[in-house]
């Protein structure tokens, strides 16, 4: 995944602060109030400029709210696009590069664009999106793609402020491009047994107009096309013919395997939907992909 996150718009760099939480730690707040958000954004800008000095000439917009990685890794990068919309509406856009932080209001309420999905809360890795904008963003983005994954640890002062402001213990704080985050997620999914699904997600993220077929028994049959995924539903006999051929299998064992297969279908659907990919279950008349 070497392409820039700004392929479609060379004036942007999409990145995140990735916070690896201690076991059983949960952030005490969903988003920082403005004073803490501004302070953290200032340290973020300093850290990025220390890594790539040219970053100091770009405008920095920062969402001081934490999300699940799946909320960032969605087709069209909607979370960063919403952050860009907020940046465009902020005052002073003609006064040169700004450092802009968005967080909770004075009452601690989190505005809608910064509200994480409750169903995706609870993970040990939370990410805070940032956006760099300017005429030199393409070159800065390419530099970050080369170095952040290996050298992007946040400075100690930055990590400590994030820990204190969010009210939970943080093991590591580091900077990643969205492509770095995707690569890290691919590794994690591989460890969770979801490696067969990653090419589908990668296509949805990087080439959403393309089509890909997952046809790799014993995995579910799935086609991604037109921005959505169709998962094949088989009647028990069609499923047996596709996945077990003419093998003679005990009926009870066959029933257990079919139940496991259906659970795997639901797992695939849940992961795709978490990444913003619509899923439709399609009844297939035979054991092939013809109906998908």
Domain housing 101: 12-191
Task: Give residue 5's pLDDT.
Answer: 40
pLDDT in tens, 272-287: 999 999 999 999 877 6
Closest CA to 46 of 111, 107, 99: 99
Q: Is the pLDDT of residue 4 over 60?
A: no
Under 8 Å CB-to-CB from 195, ≥6 apart: which residues? 186, 189
Residue after which a domain boundary falls, among 168, 191, 214: 191
Q: What percent of the chain has pLDDT over 90?
A: 73
Q: Distance (Å, rounded) from C-alpha 77 to C-alpha 71?
A: 9
What domain count does the chain have? 2
* Alpha helices per DSSP H over 22-75: 34-51, 69-72
Indicate if 51 and 158 belong to the same structural domain.
Answer: yes
Cα(88)–Cα(67) distance, integer angstroms: 22
Q: Is the residue at 226 inside a domain?
A: yes
Q: Is 181 exposed, middle or buried (0-12, 13-18, 19+ CB in 10 A)?
A: buried
What CA–CA distance (Å, rounded) separates 289 from 224?
Answer: 12
Please state the separation of Cα 1 from the chain's center in Å.
Answer: 14
φ and ψ at residue 6, rounded to 5 degrees: -105, 30
Same domain? 29 vs 45? yes
User: At which of 174, 191, 208 does a domain end?
Assistant: 191
The rounded distance, in Å, linking the Cα atoms of 92 and 89 is 9
Q: Among residues 135, 158, 191, which one ends one of the domains?
A: 191
User: In 3D, which of 66, 182, 173 has the Cα closest to residue 116?
Assistant: 66
Bridge partners for 228 per DSSP:
225
CB 173 within 8 A of CB 18: yes
Query: Going edge to edge, which strands form the sheet with 125-133?
Result: 99-102, 59-63, 125-133, 12-21, 170-177
Same domain, 46 and 161: yes
Q: What is the pLDDT of residues 208-253, one digit of tens each?
A: 999 999 999 999 999 999 999 999 998 888 888 888 876 677 888 8
Mean pLDDT rounded to a whole number for the chain = 90
Peptide bond into 218 cis (omega under 30): yes
**Is 49 a residue whose pLDDT tops 60?**
yes
């Amino acid at each position: 995944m070497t392409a820039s996150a700004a392929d479609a718009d060379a004036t942007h760099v999409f990145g995140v602060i990735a916070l690896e939480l201690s076991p059983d730690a949960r952030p005490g707040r969903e988003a920082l109030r403005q004073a803490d958000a501004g302070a953290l954004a200032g340290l973020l800008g300093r850290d990025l400029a220390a890594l790539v000095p040219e970053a100091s000439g770009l405008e920095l917009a920062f969402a001081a709210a934490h999300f699940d990685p799946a909320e960032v890794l969605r087709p069209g990068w909607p979370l960063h696009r919403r952050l860009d919309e907020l940046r465009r509406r902020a005052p002073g856009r003609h006064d040169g590069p700004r450092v802009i932080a968005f967080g909770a209001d004075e009452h601690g309420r989190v505005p809608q664009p910064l509200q994480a999905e409750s169903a995706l809360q609870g993970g040990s890795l939370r990410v805070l999106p940032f956006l760099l904008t300017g005429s030199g963003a393409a070159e800065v983005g390419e530099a970050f793609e080369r170095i952040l994954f290996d050298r992007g640890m946040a400075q100690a002062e930055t990590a400590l402020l994030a820990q204190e402001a969010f009210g939970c213990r943080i093991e590591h704080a580091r900077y990643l491009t969205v492509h770095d985050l995707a690569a890290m997620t691919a590794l994690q999914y591989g460890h969770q047994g979801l490696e067969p699904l990653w090419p589908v997600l990668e296509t949805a993220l990087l080439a959403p107009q393309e089509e890909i077929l997952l046809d790799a028994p014993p995995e579910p049959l799935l086609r991604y096309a037109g921005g959505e995924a169709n998962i094949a539903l088989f009647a028990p006999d069609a499923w047996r013919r596709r996945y077990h051929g003419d093998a003679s299998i005990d009926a009870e064992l066959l029933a257990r395997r079919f139940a496991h297969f259906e659970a795997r279908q639901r797992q695939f659907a849940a992961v795709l939907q978490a990444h913003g990919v619509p899923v439709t279950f399609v009844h297939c008349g035979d054991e092939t992909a013809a109906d998908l």
